[in-house]
């Protein structure tokens, strides 16, 4: 049994976090893994929408969310947060973007700050396929339509009508049951 | 030696007692909407109670931030595979129940404590041990701490499980912190740093609101050591005076990137929002218990007079 680490206060992430991290083998070992993820996070903050392979996208999503949530919680005058931003963002003008643009944008959010959309899986190709990782509130056109269900679509109309009929029939059968059985004269 | 005491007694009749406890906790939660205003001395351990009003206008009582250092075992094990909300809730209820019977005081690594344990094999049925807390860990009912002392030139360490029903009394003789969270290096230090007399009396704290940090730098014995202390970033140890090759090798073996691994940190911690929820749940009961004990202590000597 381990005791939780108390030295830092972290915000809860609003994405699904897997219990074990992916290893991303590289000649440099774990240092190389973080170097590659650093490049991904930097690109995400710079371009706000990137297309890459799914495993790297999922790992980088976690790190990006952590970075932004720390920036929102602690602000830019916090030494540890600034050190993390300095490490994770290779281009130093992106640190400015993080604290001056992204923090005000995401401050009031109750949802995650990034979105991971599955991309095309071309055959024969990389097994896990591609993914598109983007920051919410980016200026590009949406990848997926905003709403996916309209009440005036035919199947929705038919389903609504069927539900209504069911409810009416149920109400009628209830009233029949509650009334005493009428005499059959 | 109290090692792995199986807490069978707690789990007997779990189903029956769960419903009783549930009913009790429901009534308690109704009571705790209006927390007791304590007329305590200023700068008491409880600190400032923050009351955040939510939209409906009801006050939401939030535990003060120091609670996570005072009661770290209330936080669950951060390993995701082992998280279970129901199990954690039941454990917290059991912990509060035990704390209502025996006082488990606030302590840190580096505090000197005296623990009395029920022991059927000793002539008077209790066994008492005094020592310095070198490490603490575990979460929930399995929370433990290790006390170290040197008895007749023999170093002795005992691991006590805080919520074990055999423990009769836990007393903190000197409440202080050290520069490190783990004092395992005392095993390789000169014996005078781990020796404390069994007849030591509880010391009165000069300042109740702040726990002093003892900046002592401990001298280690000459090598060989139990661990490679030069590879751990120890603050509370004097200069190790090792040949340079040890430090070079330590640099080769070091993992400086772990400091920046945000997800590794996340998987080792409980998020702040969850911590707040947990402590908001338990702090009112802990404060009530604390208050009752303070009143009893004040009445005790005066009633004897």
B114: domain CATH number is 2.30.30
- Give domain status of residue B242, yes or no: yes
Q: What is the per-residue pLDDT across B223-239, written as a single tens digit (0 to 9) for each?
A: 999 999 999 999 999 99
What would the mean pLDDT of B105-125 be, rounded to a whole number? 94
Give B233-239 contacts, CB < 8 A, sequence gap 24+.
Answer: B234/B180, B234/B185, B235/B179, B235/B180, B236/B178, B236/B179, B236/B180, B236/B183, B236/B185, B237/B185, B237/B189
Q: Do B266 and A13 touch (CB under 8 A)?
A: yes
Q: How many domains does chain B have?
A: 2
Q: What pLDDT sits at residue B58?
A: 62
Q: Taking CA A181 as the corner, what is the angle to CA A179 and CA A183, rounded to the nearest 5 degrees?
A: 130
Q: Is residue B54 part of a domain?
A: no
Looking at the partner chain, which of B80, B140, B266 has a beta carbon nearest the beta carbon of A10? B266
How would residue B272 be classed by pLDDT, with cut points 50, 70 and 90?
A: very high
- Within a 13 Å sphere around the CA of A151, how many CA atoms are in the beta-carbon half? 2
Same domain, B116 and B219: yes
With an 8 Å Cβ cutoff, are A21 and B270 in contact? no
Q: Are residues B142 and B235 in the same domain?
A: yes
Is residue B230 in some structural domain? yes
Q: Which residue has the higher pLDDT, B80 or B26?
A: B80
Closest residue in B to A1 (Cα) is B138
Structure confidence at residue B64 as a pLDDT band (50, 70, 90): confident
With a CB-CB cutoff of 8 Å, which residues 53-82 of chain B face chain A?
A: 68-69, 72-73, 75-81
Picking from B76, B255, B273, the nearest residue to A30 by CB comes out as B255
B148 and B280 co-located in one domain: no
Judged by average pLDDT, the poorest of A19-28, A129-138, B12-21 is: B12-21
CB contact under 8 A, B262 and A70: yes
Do B80 and A17 lie within an 8 Å CB cutoff?
yes
CB B83 within 8 A of CB B139: no
Residues B98 and B170 in one domain: no
Handedness of CA B283, B285, B287, B290 (dihedral sign): negative
Domain presence at residue B117: yes
CB of B100 within 8 A of CB of A40? no
- Chain B residues 107-136 with CB within 8 Å of chain A: 136
Q: State whether B95 and B152 are in the same domain.
A: no
Residue B143: inside a domain? yes
Contact B78 A2 (CB under 8 A): yes
Give me the residues of B, 134-163, that contact A with CB < 8 A: 136-140, 142-143
Structural domain includes residue B146? yes
Question: Nearest 5°: phi and psi at B141?
Answer: -75, -15
Same domain assignment for residues B171 and B234: yes
> Vertex B222, ends B220 and B227: CA angle to 5°?
70
Structure tokens at B236: 């509370």
- B92 domain-assigned: yes
Same domain, B156 and B182: yes
Contact residues, chain A, for B262 at CB < 8 Å: 62-63, 66-67, 70, 84, 88
- Give the structural domain span for B172: 104-203+211-251
Residues B161 and B183 in one domain: yes
- Pair B96, B224 in one domain: no
Co-location of B88 and B199 in the same domain: no
Q: Note whether B245 and B120 are same-domain residues.
A: yes
The model's pLDDT over B202-214, given as tens digits with 9 standing for 90+, comes to: 998 887 888 999 9
The sheet carrying B144-151 orders its strands as B154-161, B144-151, B126-137, B112-118, B167-174
Report the residue of chain A nearest B264, measured CA to CA.
A21
Distance of residue A38 Cα from the nearest chain B Cα, in angstroms = 10
Rg for chain A (alpha carbons), in Å?
Answer: 25
B40 falls within a domain: no
* A181 to chain B, closest Cα gap in Å: 43
Confidence grade of residue A2 (pLDDT, cut at 50, 70, 90): confident
Do residue B132 and residue B234 come from a single domain? yes
The overall average pLDDT reported for chain B is 83
């Amino acid at each position: 049994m381990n005791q939780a680490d108390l030295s830092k206060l972290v915000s809860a992430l609003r994405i699904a976090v897997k219990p074990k991290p992916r290893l991303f083998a590289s000649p440099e070992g774990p240092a190389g893994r973080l170097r590659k993820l650093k490049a991904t996070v930097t690109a995400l903050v710079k371009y706000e929408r990137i297309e890459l392979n799914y495993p790297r996208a999922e790992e980088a999503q976690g790190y990006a969310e952590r970075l932004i949530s720390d920036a929102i919680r602690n602000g830019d005058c916090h030494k540890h947060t600034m050190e993390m931003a300095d490490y994770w963002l290779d281009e130093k003008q992106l640190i400015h973007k993080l604290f001056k643009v992204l923090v005000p944008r995401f401050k009031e959010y109750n949802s995650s700050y990034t979105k991971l959309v599955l991309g095309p899986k071309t055959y024969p190709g990389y097994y896990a396929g591609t993914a598109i990782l983007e920051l919410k509130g980016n200026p590009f056109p949406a990848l997926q339509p905003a709403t996916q269900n309209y009440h005036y679509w035919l199947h929705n109309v038919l389903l609504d009508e069927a539900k209504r009929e069911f409810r009416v029939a149920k109400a009628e059968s209830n009233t029949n049951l509650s009334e005493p059985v009428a005499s059959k004269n | 030696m109290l090692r792995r005491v199986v807490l069978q007694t707690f789990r007997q009749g779990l189903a029956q007692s769960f419903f009783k406890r549930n009913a009790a906790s429901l009534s308690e939660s109704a009571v705790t909407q209006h927390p007791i205003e304590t007329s305590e001395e200023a700068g008491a351990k409880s600190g400032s109670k923050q009351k955040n009003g939510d939209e409906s206008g009801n006050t939401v009582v939030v535990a003060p931030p120091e609670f996570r250092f005072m009661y770290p075992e209330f936080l669950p094990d951060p390993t995701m595979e082992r998280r279970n909300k129901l199990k954690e809730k039941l454990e917290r209820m059991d912990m509060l129940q035990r704390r209502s019977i025996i006082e488990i005081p606030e302590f840190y690594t580096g505090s000197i404590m005296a623990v009395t344990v029920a022991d059927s094999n000793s002539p008077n049925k209790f066994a008492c041990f005094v020592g310095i807390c070198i490490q603490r860990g575990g979460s929930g009912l399995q929370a433990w701490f290790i006390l170290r002392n040197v008895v007749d030139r023999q170093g002795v360490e005992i691991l006590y499980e805080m919520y074990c029903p055999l423990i009769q009394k836990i007393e903190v003789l000197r409440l202080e912190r050290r520069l490190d969270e783990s004092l395992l290096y005392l095993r390789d230090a000169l014996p005078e740093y781990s020796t404390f007399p069994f007849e030591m009396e509880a010391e009165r704290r000069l300042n109740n609101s702040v726990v002093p940090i003892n900046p002592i730098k401990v001298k280690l014995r000459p090598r060989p050591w139990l661990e490679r202390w030069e590879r751990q970033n120890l603050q509370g140890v004097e200069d190790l005076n090792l040949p340079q090759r040890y430090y070079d090798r330590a640099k080769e073996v070091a993992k400086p990137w772990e400091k920046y691994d945000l997800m590794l940190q996340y998987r080792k911690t409980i998020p702040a929002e969850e911590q707040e929820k947990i402590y908001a749940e338990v702090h009112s009961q802990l404060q009530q218990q604390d208050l009752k004990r303070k009143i009893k202590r004040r009445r005790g000597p005066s009633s004897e007079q």
